Structure 1
């Protein structure tokens, strides 16, 4: 009995092992059919939203990503939360002052769906510098569920990564590194409005291809060459090779731009610290800029 209690009281989070039976063509075909049902409207900024602009979505998305990273959420939580946010904004006109509340709500729902330890309403309110209350979050949760018709089992780009990597003849340790890089690219795409209209399968394939090329993988398998890899993945997900190649180039360009912005942000942050600005935000990203 004592040994069982010690086992249960362990602080290590136990997760299920990957089920190889899910990495088959039948599952892939099901996801490819389902992904179209969960695509948001690519032009909701023009047709639905009157106050919210693409730059505001970028600010809130960056804040959401930083919260998920700081809370060590599972990698699939953030892409799923962004899918909820875009689907909601595709059908419901929202005031810009409510955008952070919506983002927090989407993280709240996504962490319940995919998180081992879901985010709490109280913790999310703290990340907004207490600009919202738990009761506000719970009320918005019901509204979001209603607008999404309680259909939260969205297919995201993250869902395709393992399947695509299983098709590559590479060492398991290298595959693990590629998985991490592809996850990073998927998260990066979720913050950028230019990828809203892209199918999750294409984003995943382009992310894996970009990860392979970025690491300069050497292999006797000719499928890992840039041209052959794109052609191979385009056949797997049934897409046009040129569209997939264009998506990969967009991801690589976005990565370069993000790295430059990160360097500039680091310099700006150091400058602010030197100036001892007393008005620094308490949240990871200054979402107050949305209201400007």
Structure 2
């Protein structure tokens, strides 16, 4: 009989307990003020972009959401990646042939910011049907970082969910359900 190792560990994500001090009104007000620094230009399609139109953004956003869901990324990755994408498009005219590369790069950066085991450049290139190579993605990463002035600690609408839920006097299980619905709604809004 072969020797076998029995492992009783549960493969689940370990999280720290939520600090209630982070949910007070002072923190919320600070986040609201900080959010203003991370908003993309509302008219970048008219003023900055020559080739890219809203429909193209919707297509790449849908693709990005599908990749994040399939890879089981943290909830924060997709909204953060969309924030990077919109902020970049607000300051840099981009060819439509490079939009998927930009989307993959933004997911790459957001994943590095929010996940303990981030998406790899190679894996993201596979999701582009290998139309993007890892070297291209890494070059684009530097361009995005420079255009965003290396400021990646964006405040997104997703960051406010826990603050708003903490104000509701409801059962914890109901809060979990509402949180999932808010995450889903937020993700769908980015695709508009």
3-state SS of the aligned residue for 2:41?
coil
Aligned match of 1:44: 44
1:74-101: CA deviation from partner (whole Å, max 9, x where unpaired): 1111000000000000000000000000
1:166-211: CA deviation from partner (whole Å, max 9, x where unpaired): 000111111110000001011111111xxxxxxxxxxxxxxxxxxx
Task: Show structure 2 runs of 5+ residues with no match.
Answer: 1-6
Aligned match of 1:76: 76
What is the rounded CA distance, in whole Å, between the counterparts of 2:34 and 2:126 in structure 1? 36
3-state SS of the aligned residue for 1:169?
coil
Corresponding position: 1:85 with 2:80: no
Kindly indicate whether the alpha-carbon contact (under 8 Å) linking 1:51 and 1:95 is maintained by their aligned counterparts in 2.
yes
Aligned match of 2:21: 21
| Alpha-carbon shift at residue 16 of structure 1 (Å) | 2.2
Aligned match of 1:96: 96
1:93-118: CA deviation from partner (whole Å, max 9, x where unpaired): 00000000000000000011112321
| Alpha-carbon shift at residue 11 of structure 1 (Å) | 4.1
Kindly indicate whether the alpha-carbon contact (under 8 Å) linking 1:74 and 1:116 is maintained by their aligned counterparts in 2.
no
Task: Show structure 1 runs of 5+ residues with no match.
Answer: 1-5, 193-292
| Alpha-carbon shift at residue 57 of structure 1 (Å) | 0.3
TM-score by length of 1: 0.62
3-state SS of the aligned residue for 2:169?
coil
What is the rounded CA distance, in whole Å, between the counterparts of 1:75 and 1:13 in structure 2? 13
Kindly indicate whether the alpha-carbon contact (under 8 Å) linking 1:64 and 1:107 is maintained by their aligned counterparts in 2.
yes
Aligned residues: 186
| Alpha-carbon shift at residue 10 of structure 1 (Å) | 6.3
Aligned match of 1:136: 136
- Bigger relative contact order (CA 8 A; separation at least 6): 2
Aligned match of 2:189: 189
What is the rounded CA distance, in whole Å, between the counterparts of 1:88 and 1:63 in structure 2? 18
Return structure 1 stretches of 4+ with deviation > 3 angstroms: 9-13
1:204-246: CA deviation from partner (whole Å, max 9, x where unpaired): xxxxxxxxxxxxxxxxxxxxxxxxxxxxxxxxxxxxxxxxxxx
TM-score by length of 2: 0.93
Aligned match of 1:58: 58
| Alpha-carbon shift at residue 15 of structure 1 (Å) | 2.4
Kindly indicate whether the alpha-carbon contact (under 8 Å) linking 1:38 and 1:155 is maintained by their aligned counterparts in 2.
yes
3-state SS of the aligned residue for 2:176?
helix
| Alpha-carbon shift at residue 140 of structure 1 (Å) | 0.3
Q: Which has the higher helix share?
A: 1
What is the rounded CA distance, in whole Å, between the counterparts of 1:143 and 1:115 in structure 2? 22
Q: Bigger radius of gyration, 1 or 2?
A: 1
What is the rounded CA distance, in whole Å, between the counterparts of 1:50 and 1:25 in structure 2? 42
Equivalences for 1:101-140 in 2 at 5 Å? 101-140=101-140
Cα RMSD (Å) of the superposition? Answer: 1.3
What is the rounded CA distance, in whole Å, between the counterparts of 1:170 and 1:12 in structure 2? 26
